[in-house]
Amino acid sequence: MNLTAFKRLLDPLRQRLLLLVGRAVIKLIEEEGGMRRVQAALLAGEEAEGLDIFEHYGFASRPLPEAEAVVLFQGGDRSLGYIVATDDPRYRPLGLQPGEVVIFNMEDKLAEGEELPDPPEGAPPGWPAMPETEDDPAPPLCRIQILPGRTVRVTCQNFEVNTLGTISLAALGGIKWGYPGDQTELLPGGEGLGRVARVGDCVDVAAGSSAGKWPIVESCD
């Protein structure tokens, strides 16, 4: 067999191998029968429809249009593709510490023209603040971080917990809560917990039309 004939024999296999993996830009996601069908644009203007997204068990996300994806095509058949990884450079966190792990979404970064107020006095580490220079990484606004030092930090606008059972907090070093710079601390052994307010006690209303110090005049069930 001469070289030309051998090349002609291998060309179909080579072409199939080249078509096995593709890089795509997501255009549309539709839900159908428990599966998500994706329409995406491949390189050189090629379109792909009906792509399935495969994710790790216990984790699900819905990428935004214009997010990027890696697609595998079964047997090199471009009509039978599966998305196995997605990314979105527009919102990808930068400036992470070595070993840091982050869960984020599109609201993690400042919107165009958005500015943050100055951090309050006594703000804890990681409090979102405006970058000092253009080269500084954007502050996290909606993020769960697993940091070196076995530290987990949650940054968000609102934090909600819904539970049908009980909530249990246990900390050997104590628990702090309240406004930055004016926190109450519960120390081991119950020290610092303070007394629950009762009828007749004077309480300080921080905001609203009733701001000021007022006595509790009655209780309710």
User: Looking at per-residue confidence, does 70 or 34 come out higher?
Assistant: 70
* Cβ atoms of 52 and 36 closer than 8 Å: yes
For the beta carbon of residue 65, count every other beta carbon within 10 angstroms. 12
Place of tokens 């058949």: 77
Residue 140 has what pLDDT? 94
- Domains, in order of start, for the chain: 3-87 (2.40.50.140), 91-160 (no CATH), 175-215 (no CATH)
Does the structure show a pLDDT above 60 at 195? no
pLDDT category of residue 203 using cuts at 50, 70 and 90: confident
> 3-class secondary structure for 94-127?
CCCCCCCEEEECCCCCCCCCCCCCCCCCCCCCCC
Question: How confident is residue 192, by pLDDT bands cut at 50, 70 and 90?
Answer: low
Residue 7 or residue 131, greater confidence: 131
Higher pLDDT, 5 or 1: 5
Greater confidence, 45 or 104?
104
pLDDT at 132 over 60: yes
Q: What is the per-residue pLDDT across 94-114, written as a single tens digit (0 to 9) for each?
A: 889 999 999 999 999 999 899
Q: Among 165, 166, 160, 184, which Cα is nearest to 174's?
A: 184
As a whole number, the mean pLDDT across the chain is 86
Contact (Cβ atoms closer than 8 angstroms) between residue 68 and residue 86: yes
